[in-house]
Amino acid sequence: MLYVTSGESHGRALTATITRVPAGISLSQELINTDLARRQAGYGRGGRMKIEQDTGSVLSGVRFGRTIGTPITITILNRDWDNWTDVMSVWGDSTDASRVTAPRPGHADLAGVMKIGSRDVRDVLERASARETAARVAAGAVAKAFLLELGVSIASYVQGIGDVSLSSEFDPQMVDYGVVGKSDVSCPDPIVAASMRDAIDAARSAGESLGGVVCVTATGLVPGVGSYAEADRRLDAALARRVMSIPAIKGVEIGDAFKGATLPGSRVHDEILCDDERGIHRPTNRAGGLEGGMTNGEPLFVRAAMKPIPTLMTPLASIDLDTHVPVDASRERSDVCAVPAAAVVAEAEVAFALAGAYMDKFGADCVSDIQVALEAYRARVRS
Ligand code: EPS
């Protein structure tokens, strides 16, 4: 299952087209819109989220609530388009007044205008904006719905915002997603969540922005999805590539990778046990559910580090592209912190990585055939 998105941040609409979709996935408007609403929420979001109320309209590929094995196109109209029809006009000529000429350090602005030969940063920033991730989340709802048919659920929480973080001893297997769902910073610990909010308030007052760390989990996985044999089928590689493709994500970790790099092997690897009640099982899950490029049947844990948003209300130094004289980097309305939103986007990317790997192993055309293949595999592994 693959997707492609289109659309500019202040253009008319965003679209996602999802291809290689098996027939028979049960889908609902609610499934799509719930994740879109989760992506919009979160403490630290800016004024844009008060304007938008993202709704995914399905244009193709679904009939009577089920996929029919054809490409699915979903559109999300930008309500803010009404305020940008001049600056973002499809036809006519631009006016100098609408040009942006002071690239923001940390954004795609400078390398982008060099790359495409433009003298207007807006040609770049409109697409480099994380607004595009709304379309990814709509697409991700299809991948998640497919995985649900196979007993796989995906969730996420925020581990850290700025220098406020859950303790390094925090066990991700103990997360109560009920608490996470009620937290406006998506943090499972209410005391840490309060400190995260304080950190966001302080950043806002200082004209600053904050990044953080999110953790995505998938449960209900069978072992052996992915590959130890071929580099491009290793599931850890697919997960890292997909999660890394999210704007502002600068690092990806599977399980306790970075902590494990500092410890001896005996304190890193998860022992293999077996008893009558649980069958083969692991007393710990430091590997984060992946060994040898494959799922091992334990819950998957993927973490991602998000850099602070580059648009700063107290701007860093930049230059004017026309004159090369020093100026403040441009200020656009933006978020102080979008880490809770990034967690929802990361869920979508993890869902696509897993959906692709499941389809490689169990089939690609029809959900009920895939379920039969999965059950036969489960039975063989059990025996
Ligand atoms: C975003 C929409 C944008 C920003 C933000 C993400 O809306 P606007 O530019 O109109 O305020 O709030 O964009 C960025 C973080 C960025 O770096 O461009 C969204 O829908 O998520």
Q: Of all residues in the chain, what percent carry a pLDDT higher than 70?
A: 100
CATH number among 2.40.110.10, 3.30.450.40, 3.60.150.10, 3.40.190.10, domain 2-382: 3.60.150.10
Q: Which atom of ligand 1 is nearest to the CA of 107?
A: 17
Looking at the predicted structure, is the pLDDT value of residue 98 above 90?
A: no
CA distance from start to end of the chain: 31
- What are the tokens at 226? 């992915």
Query: Is the shortest distance between the CB of 337 and ligand 1 below 6 Å?
Result: no
Q: Which atom of ligand 1 is nearest to the CA of 335?
A: 12
Q: Which atom of ligand 1 is nearest to the CA of 48?
A: 11
Query: Is the shortest distance between the CB of 315 and ligand 1 below 6 Å?
Result: no
**Residue 354 pLDDT grade (very low, low, confident, very high; cuts 50, 70, 90):** very high
d(CA 3, CA 139): 7
| Ranges assigned E (strand) in the chain | 2-6, 13-19, 23-26, 57-60, 62-63, 66-68, 72-77, 153-161, 164-165, 212-219, 249-254, 273-275, 279-281, 290-291, 294-295, 300-306, 317-319, 326-328
Residues 6+ apart with CB under 8 A from 378: 222
> Collapsing DSSP states into helix, strand and coil, what is residue 219?
strand
Query: Is the shortest distance between the CB of 285 and ligand 1 below 6 Å?
Result: no
Segment (H or E) for 349: helix 339-362
Q: What does the pLDDT average to over 28-36?
A: 98
Task: Give the model's pLDDT for residue 333.
Answer: 86
- What are the tokens at 49? 């989220």
Give the Å distance between the CA of 107 and the centre of ligand 1: 12
The backbone torsions φ and ψ at residue 152, rounded to the nearest 5 degrees and listed phi first, read -105, 125
Query: Is the shortest distance between the CB of 9 and ligand 1 below 6 Å?
Result: yes
Task: Give the model's pLDDT for residue 334.
Answer: 87
pLDDT in tens, 188-224: 999 999 999 999 999 999 999 999 999 999 999 999 9
- Tell me which amino acid residue 149 is: E
pLDDT in tens, 102-151: 999 999 999 999 999 999 999 999 999 999 999 999 999 999 999 999 99
pLDDT in tens, 161-192: 999 999 988 999 999 999 999 999 999 999 99
Task: Give the model's pLDDT for residue 337.
Answer: 97
Name the average pLDDT for the chain.
Answer: 97
Query: Is the shortest distance between the CB of 186 and ligand 1 below 6 Å?
Result: no
Annotate 160-209 with DSSP letters as a single string. EETTEE--TT--GGG--HHHHHH-TT--S-HHHHHHHHHHHHHHHHTT--
Task: Give the model's pLDDT for residue 20.
Answer: 98
pLDDT in tens, 228-247: 999 999 999 999 999 999 99
Other CB atoms closer than 10 Å to residue 173's CB: what's the count? 11
Query: Is the shortest distance between the CB of 209 and ligand 1 below 6 Å?
Result: no
Give the Å distance between the CA of 131 and the centre of ligand 1: 5
Give the Å distance between the CA of 189 and the centre of ligand 1: 27
Beta-bridged to residue 290, according to DSSP, are 295
Q: What does the pLDDT average to over 339-351?
A: 98
Give the Å distance between the CA of 13 and the centre of ligand 1: 14
Task: Give the model's pLDDT for residue 356.
Answer: 98
d(CA 86, CA 90): 9
- Spatial contact of 247 and 135, defined as CB atoms under 8 Å apart: no
Residue of minimum CA distance from atom 4 in ligand 1: 334
- What are the tokens at 349? 């990317």
Query: Is the shortest distance between the CB of 303 and ligand 1 below 6 Å?
Result: no
Give the Å distance between the CA of 255 and the centre of ligand 1: 30
Query: Is the shortest distance between the CB of 48 and ligand 1 below 6 Å?
Result: yes
Query: Is the shortest distance between the CB of 306 and ligand 1 below 6 Å?
Result: no
pLDDT in tens, 34-64: 999 999 999 999 999 999 999 999 999 999 9
Give the Å distance between the CA of 26 and the centre of ligand 1: 31
Q: What does the pLDDT average to over 276-304?
A: 96
**Residue position matching structure tokens 């004017």:** 320
DSSP code of residue 25: E
